[in-house]
Structure 1
Amino acid sequence: MSAPVVHVSAAVVTDERGRALVVRKRGTTLFQQPGGKPDPGETPLQTVRREVAEEIGVHADADAYTPLGRFRDDAANEPGHLVVADAFALRIRHDDAIAAAEIAELRWLSADELDAVPLAPLSRRQLLPLAWA
């Protein structure tokens, strides 16, 4: 029997200093990329654009996003589930991001700060390394 799957779209957001953005949702302890589950009928790109606008207040055009691929890992907030994420790169000015909607906290990280922050498995093992590739 395989684990239930949660489908999401996620943004690997970087700033002009080469740092990567991670967010922590209210009621959780792990940081992860902005993003979330699709609404009915949404494409992965539509989902990530909506989630980024809701969670960090950034309304970027579709052509500002670069597809990175589809990634699988252990879900951070749904024990026993796998997360399948369609990931997109987005570069913004760090001052443009704000914690909104269900986001309790956001942080900008450099590659050498990864061990100082509790991160979701997908973020730590797969998505954040793409920010500095």
Structure 2
Amino acid sequence: MSEQVDIHKAGGVIIKDRHFLVTRAQGKDVFVAPGGKLELGETAVQALIRELMEEVQMSVEEQDVEQIGTFTAQAAGNESKVVEMEVFLVNNASGEPVPTSEVEEVMWVNSQTTGVKMGSIFEHDVMPLLKQKDLID
């Protein structure tokens, strides 16, 4: 996409039993993988590690994070903004996901899960890639 990027985010794909973890923020109806906006001076990996702890109380080491792609889409709920998301496969995350004050619900999904509204990057880019790599059903 040649559009100017307004928001830079990092997202983490955590896979368990051929499903990946998604979260739904307080007051929202869309599920996305845990992650969020980069803070000033932060790398995408640093942002992801911070967000995993803030959102779902899971910890991960930098060496256990592998980039699987960078994707661009219009921001959900604000189509005038463009989001660029660096998405990482997270290996060896410690702990079970626990919703925090930022997250209302956590869920494990795969390509066969129905009735769950997914963020566009995860629905159109990430989930097909995970299926193609035979990481999820």
TM-score, normalised to structure 2, is 0.85
Q: What's 2:10 paired with?
A: 9
Q: Structure 2: state its 5+ residue gaps.
A: none
Percent sequence identity is: 24
Between structures 1 and 2, the one with greater helix share: 1
Decide whether the 8 Å contact of 2:57 with 2:95 is kept in 1.
no
Higher RCO (CA 8 Å, separation ≥ 6 residues): 1
- Report the count of equivalent residues: 130
Rounded Cα–Cα distance in structure 1 between residues aligned with 2:58 and 2:127: 19
CA distances 1:36-86 after superposition (whole Å, capped 9, x unpaired): 011110001100110011111111111111111211012124332221001
Rounded Cα–Cα distance in structure 1 between residues aligned with 2:43 and 2:51: 12
Between structures 1 and 2, the one with greater strand share: 2
With over 3 angstroms needed to count, the CA separation of the structure-2 counterparts of 1:52 and 1:130, relative to structure 1, is farther
Rounded Cα–Cα distance in structure 1 between residues aligned with 2:101 and 2:92: 19
Whichever residue aligns with residue 129 of structure 2, its letter is: L
List structure 1 segments (4+ residues) > 3 angstroms apart after TM superposition. 91-95
Decide whether the 8 Å contact of 1:73 with 1:122 is kept in 2.
yes
Rounded Cα–Cα distance in structure 1 between residues aligned with 2:76 and 2:14: 19
| RMSD across aligned positions (CA) | 2.0
Whichever residue aligns with residue 65 of structure 1, its letter is: V
